[in-house]
Structure 1
Amino acid sequence: MNGMSRRTFVGLGAAVAAGVASTSLTGCGSSTAKKTEAASANVKLPTYVPYTGVKPDLPPNAKGLDSGFLSYPKTLVRSVPKPPGDGSKVTLLTEIWTPPPTPKDANAHWQQLNKKLGVDLSVIMGTDPGYDQKFAATVAGNELPDLMWIPPNQGIQHVAQLLEAKCADITELVSGDAVKAYPHLAAMTQAHWKTAVVNGRIWGAPSPYPAFGQVYGGNPKVWEKAEGLSASSPDEFLAKCKEVTGGKVWALEPIYSNAVSVMSQCFGVPNKWERGKDGSLTFWMETDAYLEAINFAIKLKKAGVFYPGNPDMADAYIKMAQGSIGACVYANPTNARKDLRINAPELASQILVPFAAGGSGGPRHHLHRGTIGYTAIKKGDEKRVKMLLSILNYMAAPFGTEERESQEFGSRDLDFTFDKSGFPVRTAKGKKEVEGLRSGLETATVSPSALIASMFEGDARVQDVKDVYAIEQKLIPIGIPDPTVGHYSDAYTEYYPRMSTDAKDLVNDIVSGRKNIKEWKPFWTEAKKRGLDKMRKEFQKSLDKSGE
């Protein structure tokens, strides 16, 4: 999701603050953010109960390993016995990542879905970019939607106050075994739920995302001469990069901050923050280990292994498929395999597992937050809040259920047909009516990620599932979470996006030779004054309260 300008941060923060101020602080939840902090220092997260109605070919686990499905089930499971709604009108604010669907009044799929939900669902759809403005305008209005998706990375300030003033505290409804009343929500891991915790209370249903973070994915033809995209040390990786570079081929895409981010995992750099034995927090980019990763990237640059042009990532991925770039950085292993298949169906991308850079204490893999946010519920009486939770439970139905198929693909023969491998493929009608609505629903909440053969292009899709699952199994033992997930800092939402952008720009300038490495540490001395120490203090206070 795209970032925003400083002007947008200020405007959005003001809009949220105005929306909070205009609302009576009555109903579910306590009356102030300070009271919420004191209410529960050690929130009991929902019990993790994997859904057993559909058996995957490859099992998931609580640490984030994805389930794997090698074929489409011949018989689907009905996982929600009756419509969860009460016949009322329900509004959802969410973001879509595709063209918008046909409007509800002319959309047969939408109308059919509403019957299955048992409500008249209307969806307010923000776009990327643009969700920030849609969110601000909606919150500043007099009436909040029943369900509202809250992302962690779009600069939304005063979230704690907004939740306290306008949203239902659902802690008692989902904490511990209580979540078993919503089996699809119970199938989300505690790592998923932590992102919906603010000031020691649970405020919504998570929007799960793969647990794994950035990796290098490579073209196997390029790396064949170096015996594959793998290494046991920085020296070996550098040697292999040199070996495959030559003629019109370069080992790595040229966004240097990406290279440093991935290489930092080899040097044992923390995942965003590290909690010391004394309880102190250290930001990953201010560590000596991150500086070592920058120095290693400088070595790679001097060796001439980065592509010399300046393509955007979409163009870099195409160049990798064509063989002029050996490896690109991807958000996670699944994307690395999927993207190369799209651009070159005959190629199965190789994925670099972090290696140990001497003295780092072993490699680390930086796990993703595990979600792209959570969907909060507007304050109301307990009966309505429970009904809305049941709607979210329906929306989170997993692969292999009737509810998942109807939401994702619509009606058989009308909205989708089956390909030669037996997987659903949307028709032209399905693309117009189903695709955009599904995009918004799965942003709000969805079942935990799964490796499904139909995700991949080409005839080797079953092997792709097995290969990515095997890579995930290698990453799990070295995976480390960001310790601040589940803890909120207003300073973070205010200062982090600009600080992060400036830091990445400086990394790119240093590796390229435009600036000197000596400028790195002074940058962080100043960053402490410009918000880093403030966000550190707020996160540390929250962690101390929770006892983590």
Structure 2
Amino acid sequence: MSRSWKSFETDRRTVLRGGVAAAVAALGGSALASCSSPGSSGGGSGGGAGATVDLPTFQQYDGVPPDFPAAAEGMNEGFRAYPANPGRVIEEAPGDGEVITFMTNIPGAIPPTRDANSFWQALEERIGSPLEISMSSNDEYKSKFATRIAGGDIPDILNIPKDVAQLPDLLEATCLDLTEYLAGDAVLDYPFLANLPEQSWPDTRFNGKIFAVPVPRGMSRTSAPIYRQDLTEAAGIADADPGSFDDFIALCTEMTAPGANRWAWASMPSQYIQQMWGTPYLWGEEGGAFTHMYETEEMLGAIEDMIAVWAAGVVNPDAYTASGGAKKQWIAAGTAVFVHDSFVAWNQFYTDNPTVTELRINMLDVPGRDGGQGSPWMGAANNNITAFNAETTHDPEVLLAIANWMAAPFGTEEYLFRKFGVAGEHYELAGSDPVPTALGTSEVGIGLQYISDAAMALYLPGRPDIPETQHAVQAKMVDRLVTDASYGLYSETKSRMNAQLEGAVNDALNQVVQGNAGIETFTAAVDTWRTSGGDAIRSELEEAYAAEHG
């Protein structure tokens, strides 16, 4: 008996889905563990072998001119204030009137449910469909994601972490192929998806198909030393940027006063020191050959300097055991002056500490180890990718129209509503800037930014000085940014084993830096990393690179 292509495709997906579910169940969710190595890009999950499909055409939206334009690719645009009287750029509701389900993580407190959430209700009126959102905290999301995939309980819209094991198989088994809608000029039907940064799209392409839309981050996630400029200036330091490692040590010593319960650093500045030395950002590539940062002479030099920094007593002695939240509290309290974090965190220090009126945040540039300029690392291109259930009852064009609505950029009325809610209810205007109310703080964070999002803008309501400073820092760094050479390339071994492999090396590194082991402990761990999977990852990356670049 003959079968249609449709029935064959359904059978194929059923077989694939069973294999993926079995793999996830057998691993108990451990395959979804996040890579937590220093400087982990979160990239490298896209573009399987033979990924020859055209990526979406970039078409910039110029409706809202920035106060601080991006001077080079990768930079974020900056705005002193939100434009007054922003207009709607999407008149027709993108939904189809039917319930749409979505699964996501939530970085803050879980907001009120739909029946008690006026923002959620207003959103549904805007998009023209009820939106059922299954939310989990950041800490719980990956295990719940694994459980639902293994059980075949897949929503219409799915926030997929980029470090999921066997991601191409998962996408093939469970998600819509969006190639015909997004490849090349086809994306122009969705102008705000076409406006997303070009470097975000390789994460969505596998085995010659486009399976997802990206949730872009880019340079907003570039990390360097964030510091309390008010404290350095109070110490008589007019310009904190060091010119070399020796200058850096002197700066740290100057800002450390254990007797006053203050240390220069909330965390060991490992990544910053590596950037001074010019190590690769995870993987480097030359002539198609890949080298991990662990394997370089520069890494050994950087470790010597890390040991010296720890021995100098300029890092909080609890740095290796305290949580990230505790370290941010040290910065707010002045117990620490420097912490390695991103432009996103820069704003968060202000929004989380409104009573610290003297607070002024800045970010150090990266010097060369012995002078000159160092090599800062480009932030992760994306936070996550978003795919659609292959068995959804919604037209793919409806789901893409919703993603396009969620990507309306800064300066539009849609962006203002999406990020801040309803005027007079979820925010009040100070000039043209939205200032969240208590209700807005409670209700608005329902995870819409993980369906899709515009490229991040440098902006903080009521603080025009902050985007100006941030833009100046980005402009100094952008031409020197180093990217992870594995970004956009898929390695099966990396997808399954990277967290465990790099975790073991980083554990050894931490022991060496704290003086609990000799450098041979690190080099032995790197040898084990190679034989246990590092060499296999290298081979797979080189194969994917050759297929991509011919």
TM-score band w.r.t. shorter chain: 0.7 to 0.9
The structure-2 alpha-carbon separation of the partners of 1:174 and 1:357, relative to structure 1 and needing over 3 Å to count, comes to: same
Instruction: Supply the distance in 2 between the matched residues of 1:382 and 1:486 (Cα, whole angstroms).
Output: 31
Report if the CA contact (8 A) 2:48-2:205 is conserved. Answer: no
The answer to which of 129-138 and 518-527 deviates more is: 129-138
Q: Could you tell me whether the CA contact under 8 Å between 1:226 and 1:243 is conserved in 2?
A: no
Q: Which residue of 1 aligns with 2:155?
A: 145
Tell me, what secondary structure is at the counterpart of 2:365? Answer: coil
Counterpart residue number, 1:127? 137
- Amino acid of the structure 1 residue aligned with 2:401: S
Q: Is the 8 A contact 1:42 1:546 kept in 2?
A: yes
User: What is the rounded CA distance, in whole Å, between the counterparts of 1:104 and 1:182 in structure 2?
Assistant: 28
For residue 235 of structure 1, what is the aligned residue in structure 2?
Answer: 246
CA contact (8 A) 2:266 2:337 kept: no
Rounded Cα–Cα distance in structure 1 between residues aligned with 2:118 and 2:250: 58
Counterparts of 2:347 and 2:392 in 1: how far apart (Å)? 46
User: Which amino acid is 2:273 matched to?
Assistant: M
Mapping for residues 498-517 of structure 1, pairs under 5 Å: 498-517=500-519
Distance 1:9 1:506 in 2: 28
Instruction: Note closer, same or farther for the CA distance 1:316–1:143 as it changes in structure 2 (3 Å cut).
Output: closer
1:319 is aligned to 330
Alignment map for 1:208-247 (pairs within 5 Å):
208-211=216-219, 212-224=221-233, 225-246=236-257, 247=259
Aligned CA distance change for structure 1 residues 92 and 318 (closer, same or farther; 3 Å): closer
Structure 2 residue aligned with 1:289: 298
Moved more, 247-256 or 102-111: 247-256
Match of 1:267 among 248, 266, 277: 277
* Matched residue SS, 2:186: helix
Could you tell me how far apart the structure 2 residues matched to 1:231 and 1:510 are?
25
Q: Structure 1 residue 205: deviation in Å?
A: 1.0
Q: Which amino acid aligns with 1:447?
A: A
Matched, 1:370 2:378: no
Match of 1:164 among 149, 158, 172: 172
State the alpha-carbon separation in 1 of the partners of residues 157 and 334 from structure 2.
46
Q: Give the superposed CA RMSD.
A: 2.7
Is it true that 1:352 corresponds to 2:364 in the alignment? yes
CA distance in 2, matches of 1:139, 1:162: 9
Closer/same/farther in 2, CA of residues 70 and 340 from structure 1, 3 Å limit: closer
Q: 1:118 to 1:62 in 2, by over 3 A?
A: farther
SS class of match (2:444)? helix
The residue that corresponds to 1:95 in the other structure is: 105
Q: Distance in 2 between matches of 1:64 and 1:76?
A: 26
1:191 to 194, 199, 204: 199
**CA contact under 8 A between 2:94 and 2:405: conserved in structure 1?**
yes
Q: Partners in 2 of 1:484 and 1:355 — Cα distance?
A: 25
Distance of 1:186 and 1:73 partners within structure 2: 22
Residue identity matched to 2:478: I
**C-alpha deviation, 1:397, in angstroms:** 1.4
SS in 1 for 2:103: strand
Q: Structure 1's 276 and 362: CA in aligned 2 closer, same or farther, altered over 3 A?
A: farther
In structure 2, C-alpha distance between the alignment counterparts of 1:388 and 1:80, rounded to whole Å: 15
RCO (CA 8 Å, sep 6+): is it higher in 1 or 2? Answer: 2
Instruction: Name the SS of the counterpart of 2:422 in structure 1.
Output: coil
How far the C-alpha of 1:400 sits from its partner, in A, is: 1.9
Q: Which residue number in structure 2 is paired with residue 33 of structure 1? A: none
Query: Does the C-alpha gap of structure 1 residues 353 and 416 become closer, same or farther in structure 2, counting only changes over 3 Å?
Result: same
Q: Does 1:545 align with 2:544?
A: no
For 1:222 and 1:249, the matched residues in 2 are separated by 14
In structure 1, the partner of 2:9 is none
Quote the Cα distance in structure 2 between the aligned partners of 1:248 and 1:435.
40
1:11 alignment partner AA? G
Q: What code does the residue aligned with 1:164 have?
A: E
Q: Distance in 2 between matches of 1:543 and 1:58?
A: 36
1:447 to 449, 454, 457: 454
Does residue 1:488 correspond to 2:494, yes or no?
Answer: no
Q: Is the 8 A contact 2:232 2:255 kept in 1?
A: yes
Distance across 1 between alignment mates of 2:26 and 2:483: 27
> In the alignment, what sits opposite 1:12?
29
Change (3 A) 1:387 1:288: same
Say whether residues 1:179 and 2:187 are aligned partners: yes
Change (3 A) 1:325 1:89: closer
2:423 is the counterpart of 1:412:
yes
Write the distance in 1 (CA, Å) between the matches of 2:351 and 2:136: 30
The aligned residue for residue 31 of structure 1 is none
Matched, 1:50 2:67: no
How far the C-alpha of 1:269 sits from its partner, in A, is 0.8
After superposition, the C-alpha distances for 1:485-529 in whole angstroms (9 at most, x for unaligned) are 222223213221123332232222111111111211111101112
Q: Deviations over 1:375-429 (max 9, x none)?
A: 01122699811221111000111222221222223222233322x4542233344
Normalising by structure 1, report the TM-score: 0.85
Would you say the 8 A contact 1:54–1:77 is kept in 2? no
Residue identity over aligned pairs, in percent, reads 29
Gap change, CA 1:511 and 1:226, over 3 Å in 2: farther
| Aligned-residue offset at 1:274 | 0.5
Q: Structure 1's 96 and 337: CA in aligned 2 closer, same or farther, altered over 3 A?
A: closer
Aligned length: 506
Q: Find the residue that maps to 1:81 and give its secondary structure.
A: coil
Structure-1 residue corresponding to 2:37: none
* AA at the equivalent of 1:131: Y
Q: Cα distance, 1:338 vs. partner?
A: 4.1
SS in 2 for 1:218: strand
Q: Which residue number corresponds to residue 379 of structure 1?
A: 390
1: CA distance between counterparts of 2:227 and 2:440?
34
Q: C-alpha offsets along residues 225-258 of structure 1, whole Å, 9 cap, x if unaligned?
A: 34432122112222232333345365532533xx
Q: Where does the alignment leave 5 or more consecutive residues of structure 2 unmatched?
A: 1-22, 33-46
Against the structure 1 CA distance between its residues 65 and 37, is the aligned structure 2 distance closer, same or farther, given a 3 Å change threshold?
closer
Partner residue of 1:26? none
Comparing 95-104 with 174-183, greater Cα deviation is found at 95-104
Structure 1 residues 240 and 120: CA distance shift in structure 2, 3 A: closer
Measured after TM superposition, the shift of residue 473 of structure 1 is: 0.6
Query: TM-score when scaled to structure 2?
Result: 0.85
Q: Pick closer, same or farther for the CA change 1:289–1:10 going to 2, 3 Å.
A: same
State whether residues 460 and 466 of structure 2, in contact with CA within 8 Å, keep that contact through their aligned partners in structure 1.
Answer: yes
Q: What's the CA shift for 1:341?
A: 7.0
1:68 aligns with 2:78: yes
- The alpha-carbon distance between structure 1 residues 337 and 410, as it changes in their structure 2 partners (threshold 3 A), is closer
Following superposition of structure 1 onto structure 2, how do residues 299-314 of structure 1 map, counting pairs within 5 Å? 299-310=308-319, 311-314=322-325
Match of 2:210 in 1: 202
Do 1:72 and 1:423's aligned partners in 2 also have CA atoms closer than 8 Å?
yes
More divergent stretch after superposition (476-485 vs 196-205): 196-205
Distance 2:384 2:26 in 1: 18
Partners in 2 of 1:14 and 1:322 — Cα distance? 38
Counterpart-to-counterpart distance in 2, 1:126 and 1:82? 31
